[in-house]
Amino acid sequence: MSLMREEDKLDVLLTQEAGELPPPPVVDEAITPWKRAIYRIVWGIGLTTCTLNVWIVKDLMVAVGTVLLWLGFRALRRENRCFTACWVISLIEAAFQFAGLILNATIWVSEQPLSWLSYSGLMLPLIQYICLWQGIIEVRRRAGQPAEARAAGALIWFYLVLAAFALLNVQGLILVGALLVVYILILRSLSKFAHLLDEAGYQVQPAPVRVSDRSIWITWFVALLVCISVATLLFSRYPMEWTPRPEGEQAGLEEIRSNLVELGVPEQVADDLSAEDLSSLEGALRVEAEVTEAPFNNGKMMYTSTGVYYSEYVVKELKATNLAVELPGKRWKVIHHFQWQVQPKYRTTECIALKSAAHTGVEGVHMEGTVTGRLLYDKDGTTYLGDYYRLEEEVFATNSIFWSPTEKHLFMALFSIPLGGENCRGYLTYPMSAGENSKILQSWMNYTHQVGFWNYPLMTAEEYEKLGIWRSGSFQTAQASINWISEETEEDPA
């Protein structure tokens, strides 16, 4: 027997030491891909099913969970037919989620809810959970273990109960807390399947892939960022139609216009009235006017000598002129006119919520028609006209989290300011009558405008107005009103 050289002894020693060390993570993953796949699937189910509706946390959870599900089932797609079905469903779910996250940046979701898409979104996870249940049973059967997967079966029943509660709009803090506890226990039991195959010595061979996990993550989020940005730029506004104002629109009505200006109607308001609205003011007896300038900025923080702070607004972007024009026969015409004195920075969606004098609870006050109006702006020396995107009467309850719901009866006017328009303005008007006992009357409007850059998921000015909050997040609301006395006074014309 020849003596072992020193170099050979060193090689043997290194080999023995290396065998005692744990394999690196990459090697361990190659040996037991089942663990990583199951962990990804469990986390994916958790993040896409139980989300936190806070800021954009919900959308981030869905975006991450969708990729985790797809990666988890991608590794197992060739293990059996059920896992293949799970992988195909995860691809469909990824497409649905991708489209949904992009639609959240547009007005389409609030304007035309896709109910069929919601119902499809409920069915896909259920089918996937059934396939997951059967896929795990098949793997355990091949590994020589009991052919059962109780945690996966419990997940199916839990999802059915959760979907039923969602469709029936069942609420309650205690119920939600109990469901959350049950859900966590189910996912915890489901994650234990990751260790069952180690006990049997069964090995799952990962399906070959051409694109790495890292590339999938990068591609997914870059594509989302680009598509959401494009959708926000192109589809965060109402589709508006504008036409040049006809020349001489108020021809033949000069006398009526002159009388209104003498009574106190500002010339800008008189100029913006349509021929029909101007002619309806023939024979006006008096005009009550209130002008409000409202800021859509945070102002400058000021402090008093006692240390109390307040906001001082140097710039007030919006000018609201509110008019009550008295006509013969105890009739009135109310006009709410707005004008942007400074170019608005954000031009997405606008909302005017108008509460007429007939809806303020004063006895004997009646609407003699409905609310009408129009929009105007100037560009290159030409004035353009447009109708409101939507102008209709609504009865709704505010859904603010700060107080109990309150029913409101308002006229809602929705529109978008043109991107290149200057001197943007418009008005709303309606006719009314007041009885003999009607004295102090009031009509007011809320103008809601986006003031902040971040607005995802996209909220319209109408949705913000219905929350009943004036200053919060990316929107602000300015209020303007007109208060007047309907009965004749000594100052009134005879």
Alpha carbon 49 to chain centroid, angstroms: 19
If you count them, how many residues does the chain have? Answer: 494
The model's confidence at residue 62, banded by pLDDT at 50, 70 and 90, is very high
The model's confidence at residue 213, banded by pLDDT at 50, 70 and 90, is very high
Query: Which of 27-31, 199-203, 344-348, 356-360 shows the lowest per-residue confidence on average (mean pLDDT)?
Result: 27-31
Task: Give the integer Cα–Cα distance in Å for 248 and 250.
Answer: 5
- What average pLDDT score do residues 312-317 get? 90
Look at residue 166 in the predicted model and tell me its pLDDT: 77
Task: Give the integer Cα–Cα distance in Å for 322 and 288.
Answer: 8
Residues 272-287 pLDDT 10s: 999 999 999 999 999 9
The model's confidence at residue 434, banded by pLDDT at 50, 70 and 90, is confident
Residue 412's Cβ-count burial label (10 Å; 0-12, 13-18, 19+) is: buried
Look at residue 408 in the predicted model and tell me its pLDDT: 81
Look at residue 163 in the predicted model and tell me its pLDDT: 83
Residue 438's Cβ-count burial label (10 Å; 0-12, 13-18, 19+) is: buried
Could you tell me the CA-to-CA distances from 88 to 66, 74, 76, 85, 94 in Å, in that order? 13, 9, 11, 5, 10
Reading the block at residue 357, the tokens are 């004098």
Alpha carbon 36 to chain centroid, angstroms: 35
Look at residue 307 in the predicted model and tell me its pLDDT: 66
Query: Above 80 in pLDDT, residue 79?
Result: yes
What's the chain look like in SS3? CCCCCHHHHHHHHHHHHHHHCCCCHHHHHHHCHHHHHHHHHHHHHHHHHCCCCCCCHHHHHHHHHHHHHHHHHHHHCCCCHHHHHHHHHHHHHHHHHHHHHHHCCCCHHHHCCCHHHHHHHHHHHHHHHHHHHHHHHHHHHHCCCCCCCHHHHHHHHHHHHHHHHHHHCCCCHHHHHHHHHHHHHHHHHHHCHHHHHHHHCCCCCCCCCCCCHHHHHHHHHHHHHHHHHHHHHHHCCCCCCEEECCCCCCCCCHHHHHHHHHHCCCHHHHHHCCHHHHHCCCCCCEEEEEEEEECCCCCEEEECCCCCEEEECCCCCEEEEEEEEEECCCEEEEEEEEEECCCCCCCCCEEEEEECHHHCCCCCEEECCCCEEEEEEEECCEEEEECCCEEEEEEEECCCCCCCCCEEEEEEEEECCCCCCEEEEEEEEEEEEECCCCCEEEEEEEEEEECCCCCCCCCCHHHHHCCCCCEECCEEEEEEEEEEECCCCCCCCC
Residue with the larger pLDDT of the pair 349 and 434: 349
Q: How high is the mean pLDDT of the chain?
A: 86
Residue with the larger pLDDT of the pair 467 and 431: 431
What is the sign, positive or negative, of the torsion defined by CA atoms of 459, 462, 466, 468? positive
Task: Give the integer Cα–Cα distance in Å for 186 and 155.
Answer: 6
Reading the block at residue 54, the tokens are 């806070």
* Residues forming a β-bridge with 397: 407
- Of residues 327, 336, 334, the one with CA closest to residue 291: 336
Look at residue 31 in the predicted model and tell me its pLDDT: 42
- What average pLDDT score do residues 413-430 get? 96
Cis peptide, bond prior to residue 295, ω within 30 of zero: no
- Of residues 86, 73, 90, the one with CA closest to residue 34: 73
Look at residue 14 in the predicted model and tell me its pLDDT: 39
Task: Give the integer Cα–Cα distance in Å for 298 and 314.
Answer: 10
Cα pseudo-dihedral 97, 100, 101, 105, rounded to 10? 170
Query: Above 70 in pLDDT, residue 122?
Result: yes
Task: Give the integer Cα–Cα distance in Å for 311 and 298.
Answer: 7
Residue 246's contacts (CB-CB under 8 Å, 6 or more residues apart) are: none
Residue 458's Cβ-count burial label (10 Å; 0-12, 13-18, 19+) is: buried
The percentage of residues in the chain with a pLDDT greater than 70, rounded to a whole number, is 85
Query: Above 50 in pLDDT, residue 386?
Result: yes
Look at residue 23 in the predicted model and tell me its pLDDT: 47
Please state the φ and ψ torsions of residue 444, each to the nearest 5 degrees.
-140, 160
- What average pLDDT score do residues 192-215 get? 82
The percentage of residues in the chain with a pLDDT greater than 90, rounded to a whole number, is 60
pTM here is 0.82
